[in-house]
Structure 1
């Protein structure tokens, strides 16, 4: 008994010292973690750009000259106008298409073309910064660049038609949501969101926006993201290999928009999504839709698409059979809006 008491009395200070050391180490590690870098969105202001010309007759040349400064734009992915008539005059409606992350205008084509034809509208396809080029270019783009691309598209869309309809897919819809909360939204008659990105299906992606998120993502995925492209058309339409750091501005944009007061979004909006989407989280879509302040908003769970992965729901590449029904649903919805 005395031996036990002696053992306890002599070991107790040592145990206390170990516990204090462990507690100090835990506090230190917690401090290092919570004081570590996070994935910052950056300034709220878009990158400064020269405005597009106001004269429609100058627009094609301006776009061609602007895009010519980028080497190796993949065929059929550059910014461009599809005119409703040969005389290239302003139309009652205009349509702008904003594609998703790593994609190009080809992702859902010819969906926007079919909508524009039905409305008798001029159509503008934008190309987000870093897209339609080589993979390295993706890693040089910022959210502010994409915001500037979006505002440029609005300026062009307003020049092309009296009533602007913006159709956007995935992260293009994230940008459109941001736009809808800004004063520039007054230039837009209506939005159509296809599979909007308010959060990725893979919940681990949210770690990117946390402390040390960039470092964790790079450690897990390496310096480069690669995914298999089996259709030669996919190689043109999407960038299949890009730096991991290209994900950072996209995820920062998603968080920025999700954290925004979406009641400020007042423009009519039609959301098309699939409950089986394997790229973005359908629950985040529904939650964000509920927060939109638009008095005229509609959401439709698409069940007719046969697209693999249920994200890009229509288009010649992913599901040509869905182009017509989706275009018809969009046109029908525009007919419920106030007449232009």
Structure 2
């Protein structure tokens, strides 16, 4: 019995040593590249469109600018989409919000998105942050105040940007923000052998449970994704955690999350992590009293798209009310205005 105990202790030591030596302690760094400059927002936008065309971006996946005025509007909205997604993820609801406030609106396209899964696999998270941060800095030309909106991974990126640039953001909307995976097995991605192990056991591509070739939404989302792409998502999550972005957020924040009960809830991003993150935001001594969380009982991970079955009238009403309180902007009577 003693001999067995010694063997088990030795195996435990070996296993612990192996895990410690193969854990990726060093998180990739990101530093914003300030070398690019633009005369104005329109020049920036045209160059982004040129890049999208050159990369073969699919129709309606490219970035989009909706202007209600050639000048600054009282508020502007910047939308950041999620992992493997596109602006279609938010257009159904956010377009209506912009219309209610007559707000200039910009949808950024993150690198590696809207083209093909190989591009997605080969795009590091640092490029996501670079393009999103550039969009944020340029969007200050669109409005007197800026509302930053992010869904899923876009919410994680928006969290980082709001923490880094509290002076640039006047209201933050987080829709099903990705702060953690829903299962613990994703932690294998923290180890050097994680992706190779997944490839051995499951292949290189993560298959969607939904494989209907007639599903129109796959024109705007990647149906299947490389596991190597998910590694980039893990690296982004770890980087934002290292930056302690949540505790730096001072702006009024609205969190949307889908939760009906333990069996019926968001299965793409951890609701527990979302609520924990929101509590961290509220603990900031400069946190806004306007900040609050809104539970969507009949919903989905994606909340703002026409491609999901979600009761969006309540979501729209909540968004309009929050933005008005957070920025002081008043929604207009659409019957009395004409699009410029």
Q: TM-score, normalised by structure 1?
A: 0.84
Q: CA deviation at 1:324?
A: 3.5
Distance 1:263 1:336 in 2: 22
Equivalent position of 2:302 in the other structure: 312
Contact kept? 1:273, 1:302, Cα under 8 Å: yes
Structure 1 alignment gaps of length 5 or more? 1-14
- What per-residue deviation string (whole Å, max 9, x for no partner) do you get for residues 58-79 of structure 1? 34433322322312x1110111
Gap change, CA 1:200 and 1:20, over 3 Å in 2:
closer
In structure 2, do the counterparts of structure 1 residues 189 and 229 end up closer, same or farther at CA, with 3 Å as the change threshold? farther
Unaligned ranges ≥5, structure 2? 260-264, 330-340
Residue 141 of structure 2 corresponds to residue 159 of structure 1: yes
1:208-265 C-alpha deviation (Å, 9 max, x unpaired): 2246333333333321112134353221111112221100121122233345432211
Residue equivalent to 1:190: 171
For residues 254-265 of structure 1, what are the structure 2 equivalents within 5 Å?
254-261=237-244, 262-265=246-249
- Partners of 1:128 and 1:41 in 2: CA distance: 21
Separation in structure 2 between the aligned mates of residue 250 and residue 51 of structure 1, nearest angstrom: 25
Equivalence for 1:271: 255
In the other structure, the counterpart of 1:10 is none
**Cα shift at 1:322:** 3.2
Match of 2:38 among 34, 53, 58: 53
1:286 corresponding residue in structure 2: 275
Q: Residue 74 of structure 2: SS of its match in structure 1?
A: strand
The residue aligned with 1:232 is 215
May I ask how many residue pairs the two structures share in their alignment?
Answer: 316
Give the equivalent residue in structure 1 for 2:22: 36
Higher Cα Rg, which structure: 1
Equivalent-residue separation in structure 2 for 1:300 and 1:312 (angstroms): 14
Report the Cα distance in structure 1 between the residues aligned to 2:90 and 2:211, rounded to whole angstroms. Answer: 16
CA RMSD of aligned residues (A): 2.5
Q: Summarize the Cα distance change of 1:232–1:205 in structure 2 as closer, same or farther, 3 Å threshold.
A: same
Partner of 1:101: 83
- The Cα of 1:338 is off from its aligned counterpart by 4.6
Contact 1:314 1:322 in 2 (8 A): no
Distance 1:56 1:27 in 2: 58
- Relative to the length of structure 2, the TM-score reads 0.84
Q: 1:198/1:57 Cα in 2 relative to 1: closer, same or farther (>3 Å)?
A: closer
